[in-house]
Structure 1
Amino acid sequence: MKRRDFSLAAAAGSLGLLAHLPAQAQARAPKAGTEYLVLDKRVPVDAPAGKIEVIEFFSYNCPHCNDFEPALEAWAKSKPADVVLRRVPVPFVGNDVEAKQRLYYALEAMGKVDEYQPKVFSAIHAQRQNVNGDANIVTWAEKSGLDAAKFKELFTSFGVASKAKRASQLTDAYKVAGVPALAVAGRWYVDGETAGNMNKALAVTNFLIGEARKG
């Protein structure tokens, strides 16, 4: 969901789209300034040397991020070995955004993101559960099978709060206009508005990964 709206195509078939792009689409390189943006100033990356960082900016409150999640998960499972995917929860979209950021980083600290990312989206968008506010988030975590004491300790910790603050700083550094959005190698930004839809945004991301390998 954008600070301004954009059109999002259904994401579930994105990998098929990437594999079966028309020949003319495969031949034409995406255009800088149109289908993706080049950052005025490079953003430092956390990826190890020799790895290419891809960031997904998202919000648990965002219905478009919920729609995009299956395609992103499938892409992540088949991404090249030299690509590192990071997720960054943004400080906008709906209410209770800082708590939702801490929810993500508590899951990350527990090593539970892969397992619980779809569950959070489902609880909010499919099951319409109340996952707002610290108390409700902790209750949801316990009912969802997490170690409640450990989750609460991490969720309210200084370390997780610091990561949430850093996520907000990264959102500003990349000038994220809305979510879902993707950033590559601290140099490029693409979203559903620039690329046309999130299917195409994944295709542009693959192109930019190739550009990053060139140095």
Structure 2
Amino acid sequence: MRFLRFAIAAIGLVASTAFASPADPKLGAEYVQLGSPQPAQVVGKKVEVIEFFMYHCPHCNVLEPYLAEWVKKQGANINFRRVHMPQTGPKDPEAHLYLTLEAMGKLDDMHVKVFKAIHVDRVRMNTDAVVLDWAVKNGLDKTKFLDAWNSFGVMTKLNRLPSVLNAYKVNSVPTLVVDGRFMTSPSVVDAANKGMNEAALSKATVQVLDGMVAKVAKTK
């Protein structure tokens, strides 16, 4: 009986992936349902989309331009936000940098520059000192940066990150969650659609997001 259950499950998985298509994403193939749905930040009829990422993650770096363009096209349809995974814990310098830039209102100017610094210029932002040096060299006022860096709001968000990741059960990046209920990622899309290079996989991932957002929007 146990073997039969495994066989039936395997047949179901093969069936779901046999008809997989990023342009028409299927639950159980290009995206999955979270085991413990989380409350979404509701803003009117906008659909919440969260990207869990890390600046030094090469896959996040490849996905970034495709995702940024997708967010721009979605416009008022979505409430988009990012959560930086704190790989080294609540004192992670990269996560701290992201939250500081967010608090300063500098993400639009600096977000892509951080990716470039790490993946092109090979700056290793693994200490607070390196992060501060980079920020000042890239035109940010040292005093204002440190004020934001050490602020109560930034420190509170930084300390909460591990519990946020635990709630969503995120253990790899990039991961994208829609409406607190559905999750996809390039690795999930790749499992359902083999043979894509990373650029094609990034394009396919935002296609899947289109379908996920459209599905959720119908329930609003």
Interval containing the TM-score (normalised by the shorter chain): 0.7 to 0.9
What is the CA–CA distance in structure 1 between the aligned matches of 2:42 and 2:94, rounded to whole Å? 24
Whether 1:44 aligns to 2:39 is yes
Q: CA deviation at 1:88?
A: 0.6
**Judging changes above 3 Å, is the alpha-carbon distance between structure 1 residues 28 and 157 closer, same or farther for their aligned structure 2 residues?**
closer
Which of 195, 198, 212 lines up with 1:208 in the alignment?
Answer: 212
Whether 1:126 aligns to 2:120 is yes
What is residue 84 of structure 1 aligned with on the other side? 79
**Judging changes above 3 Å, is the alpha-carbon distance between structure 1 residues 83 and 207 closer, same or farther for their aligned structure 2 residues?**
same
Letter in 2 for 1:168: P
DSSP-derived class of the 1:79 partner: helix
Letter in 1 for 2:26: K
Q: Is the 8 A contact 1:57 1:182 kept in 2?
A: yes
DSSP-derived class of the 1:54 partner: strand
Whether 1:98 aligns to 2:92 is yes
Q: CA deviation at 1:104?
A: 0.3
What is the CA–CA distance in structure 2 between the aligned matches of 1:194 and 1:174, rounded to whole Å? 16
Stretches of structure 1 lacking an aligned partner (at least 5 in a row): 1-23
What is residue 101 of structure 2 aligned with on the other side? 107
Q: Is the 8 A contact 1:96 1:133 kept in 2?
A: no
Question: 4+ residue stretches of structure 1 with deviation over 4 A?
Answer: 24-28, 94-97
Write out aligned runs for 1:47-196 (5 A).
Answer: 47-92=42-87, 98-196=92-190
1:130-157 CA distances to partner (integer Å, 9 max, x unpaired)?
4221122111111100111111111122
Letter in 2 for 1:133: T
Q: CA deviation at 1:65?
A: 0.9
Q: Is the 8 A contact 1:56 1:86 kept in 2?
A: yes
Q: Which moved more, 1:201-210 or 1:27-36?
A: 27-36
DSSP-derived class of the 2:76 partner: coil
**Judging changes above 3 Å, is the alpha-carbon distance between structure 1 residues 140 and 35 closer, same or farther for their aligned structure 2 residues?**
same
What root-mean-square deviation, in Å, do the aligned CA atoms of Structure 1 and Structure 2 show?
Answer: 2.3
Stretches of structure 2 lacking an aligned partner (at least 5 in a row): 1-18, 191-200
DSSP-derived class of the 1:30 partner: coil
What is residue 8 of structure 1 aligned with on the other side? none
Letter in 2 for 1:180: P
What is residue 26 of structure 2 aligned with on the other side? 31
Q: CA deviation at 1:198?
A: 2.8
**Judging changes above 3 Å, is the alpha-carbon distance between structure 1 residues 48 and 74 closer, same or farther for their aligned structure 2 residues?**
same
| Structure with greater helix share of residues | 2
TM-score normalised per structure 1:
0.80
- The higher radius of gyration belongs to 2
What is the CA–CA distance in structure 1 between the aligned matches of 2:209 and 2:81, rounded to whole Å? 14
Q: Which moved more, 1:194-203 or 1:48-57?
A: 194-203
1:9-38 CA distances to partner (integer Å, 9 max, x unpaired)?
xxxxxxxxxxxxxxx987973221221111
